Amino acid sequence: MRFVYLLGLFFCSELLAGEGRLLATGGATSLEGAAGGGIMPWAVLAGYGERGEWGADVFATRVETGDYRLDVAGVAAAYGNRIELSYARQRFDLGTLARDLNLPDNSLSMDTLGLKVRLAGDLIYDRLPQISLGLQHKRQRDFLVPSLVGAQRREDTEGYLAASRLILGGAFGYNLLLNANLRYSRANELGLLGFGGDRRDRHSWLKEGSVAVLLDRHWAVGIEYREKPDNLSFAGESDWADLFVGYFPNKNLALVLAYARLGEIATLDNQDGVYLSVQGSF
């Protein structure tokens, strides 16, 4: 049934899809399913639709740190360069940890539903940078392990305010993309370890930022940084950072390769790894 919906979505978007925005301005897809960078959303909306047009993305991402593996897949659709709806499924493979500790589950899965609305501005042309407000509702599907390590709840909603600006020629003649987010969340490791904890059960204000340079219309290189809360006492939770290369051969395909520094995750430190994402846009 879900497949039929997906198919429907695909065909509708094929019929009405617009290509009104410039290449790469739809960004890639973040781990939570919203259009953006890799580890954080940007203020841009999925696909390439401008006023009166649809845009949509499907994506799959894998992050491999040696001890852990995260797989994400999802879809997003946007209308009028104004409003974006997204759904993503995250699956976190506990690998080493599950073996060492004899955990009852060796993977944790989560669903994320996202809504993003462009409030003001434009990525390139307006006086104001593009400013969007986002909401994400997340639900952990395997709550046993998170609850055993102190997580307080299985599902939660979080919000973020995002600002993005492309400055033409802003980096020694190359286009410069700046993004800054303020997020209000209590998700532990995105929510993969549940929401709220024994140490802190309130939302925190978290800052996220990224800077990218577009070498030409097809290639982007950049960095991202994301603050994370620290709600669980059994292990520390590190801020995340990554260094990425994005390739946008055309308005239907994007590839992102990154080196991610994820720090300490559930007691295992130095989780550096490779991030690879493939996105199709319609």
Q: Which residues bind other proteins (CB under 8 A)?
A: 18-23, 50-53, 81, 124-125, 127-129, 163, 165, 167-170, 172-175, 178, 180, 207, 209, 215-217
> CA distances (Å), 64 to each of 93, 140, 202, in order?
10, 21, 30
* Cα 168 to chain centroid, rounded: 25
Q: How far is the CB of 216 from other proteins (least distance, A)?
A: 5
Taking the least distance from each CB to other proteins, the nearer of 3 and 172 is 172
**What gap in Å lies between CA 139 and CA 153, rounded to an integer?**
9
**What gap in Å lies between CA 241 and CA 218, rounded to an integer?**
23
Structure tokens given for 43: 């203020």
Taking the least distance from each CB to other proteins, the nearer of 145 and 176 is 176
User: Residue 267: how many CB atoms within 10 A of its CB?
Assistant: 12
Taking the least distance from each CB to other proteins, the nearer of 98 and 213 is 213
Within the chain, what is the greatest distance between any pair of CA atoms? 56
Residue among 169, 166, 139 nearest 154 (CA): 139
Q: How far is the CB of 173 from other proteins (least distance, A)?
A: 2
Taking the least distance from each CB to other proteins, the nearer of 58 and 178 is 178
Residue among 218, 223, 214 nearest 168 (CA): 214
Taking the least distance from each CB to other proteins, the nearer of 107 and 210 is 210
Residues counted in the chain: 282
Q: How far is the CB of 218 from other proteins (least distance, A)?
A: 11
The amino acid that residue 72 corresponds to is V
Which single residue is written with the structure tokens 């308005």? 251
Taking the least distance from each CB to other proteins, the nearer of 95 and 170 is 170
Q: How far is the CB of 206 from other proteins (least distance, A)?
A: 13
Q: How far is the CB of 43 from other proteins (least distance, A)?
A: 11
**What gap in Å lies between CA 278 and CA 238, rounded to an integer?**
26
Q: How far is the CB of 121 from other proteins (least distance, A)?
A: 9
Taking the least distance from each CB to other proteins, the nearer of 18 and 194 is 18
**What gap in Å lies between CA 43 and CA 162, rounded to an integer?**
5
Taking the least distance from each CB to other proteins, the nearer of 123 and 192 is 123
Q: How far is the CB of 129 from other proteins (least distance, A)?
A: 5
Q: How far is the CB of 212 from other proteins (least distance, A)?
A: 14
